[in-house]
Amino acid sequence: MAVLPRVILKRGKEKPVLRGHPWIFSGAVEKMERDLSPGEVAEVYSREGQFLGIGHVNPHSQIIVRILTQKREALEKDFFRERMSRAFLLREKWFQGKVQAYRLINGEGDFLPGLVVDRYGEVFVLQCLTAGMERLKVFLTDLLATDFHPQSIYERSDAATRKEEGLPESRGLLFGKEIPDRIEIEEYGCRFAVNVKGGQKTGFYLDQRENRFSLKRLSQGRRVLDCFSYTGAFAIHAGLGGARDLTLIDSSEDALDMAEVHFQLNHLGDLPHRLIRGDAFEVMRSLEPGYDIIILDPPPFAKKKGHLPSASRGYKDLNLLAFRLLNEEGLLLTFSCSQHMSWDLFQKIVFSAAVDAGRRVQLLGRRGHPVDHPVNLSHPEGEYLRGLGVRS
């Protein structure tokens, strides 16, 4: 192994790393042996000289080190091949023949901090979210192409974390054939056309796949309201599950246009449905009660911890509006994708909204990430999706 520069932590700051947490914040660092440039690899030591791990360094980021391994090992092709293969095998065992789109590599959850790869059929969409992974982009692309044989690899490194790492947005074809504007995928019998070049996230909300599927078997004969619908994936599952009436709300005209494409693609054009463009809060206030199922899947209201008070009010208002529109014996599927929103706080918010609406509710279950979005138990920050199914 090459001799690597060292990062020395302050006394007592080694405990989270010893427990497997992959992030080291700038305030925990005592010193670096020399000036390090963003994306360099370094060894990490405690104040007492104990080896803690090897990771990518970025002196300009609040997260100054992202640990890749707690062993003394070279971060070369075999290392990344083993981590990628382990992630790939998990998905293959779980999804083979069932769905065509899933997350192939989930950053810290697959012990590769800063790297995300989503699969849409034969197209891989890659995100390098840290300076360390950005340095390895060509290498990682070659490894994905050689070992997993996609038709194309397209980059969507345009998430907000790039800015925090001091990196510009980057997108474009990295390998293989040019990809079409829409890639058609199948998800548990539903057909969707995904815009990986310009859609939200990498083109689709893969993290809600299993929650959409669970809705399918509950929708027979029901009136369904899908708020923050994006391109209508929840609604399509409900429609193929036998819903009798669907209402979709989203602020994006392009997203609703694509939702209509999905209705046609799934032969649901004759099913009664309304697509309403507007602010979900305002639209919900204008609707008449009478829905059997309501889905609330808003964007994150709390992107920073300091946003929690205002986010809590937003979630409370949103759920209060939903309870007022929901029929007796109705089902509410309500979600938060705000990382800083705890399960306990989110449940208290929904409970408070139910009390203010004069509704008595039963908690039917919690809903979170699917198996292709694993969370490293030493890294609770990796869990961001929290959902509750409640019966009013």
Rounded CA gap, 370 and 385, in Å? 10
Residue 34: count other Cβ atoms within 10 Å of its Cβ.
Answer: 9
Task: Give burial (CB, 10 Å; 0-12/13-18/19+) of 96.
Answer: exposed
Residue 5: count other Cβ atoms within 10 Å of its Cβ.
Answer: 14
Please choose, from the candidates 127, 123, 239, 227, the residue with its C-alpha nearest in 3D space to the C-alpha of residue 185.
123
Please choose, from the candidates 320, 377, 380, the residue with its C-alpha nearest in 3D space to the C-alpha of residue 352.
320
Rounded CA gap, 237 and 209, in Å? 10
Rounded CA gap, 13 and 167, in Å? 28
- CB-based contacts of 15: which residues, under 8 Å, 6+ apart? none
Rounded CA gap, 74 and 150, in Å? 27
Catalytic residues: 337
Residues facing residue 225 across a β-bridge: 247, 294
- CB-based contacts of 74: which residues, under 8 Å, 6+ apart? 1, 2
Q: How many CA atoms lie within 13 A of 265 on its CB side?
A: 23
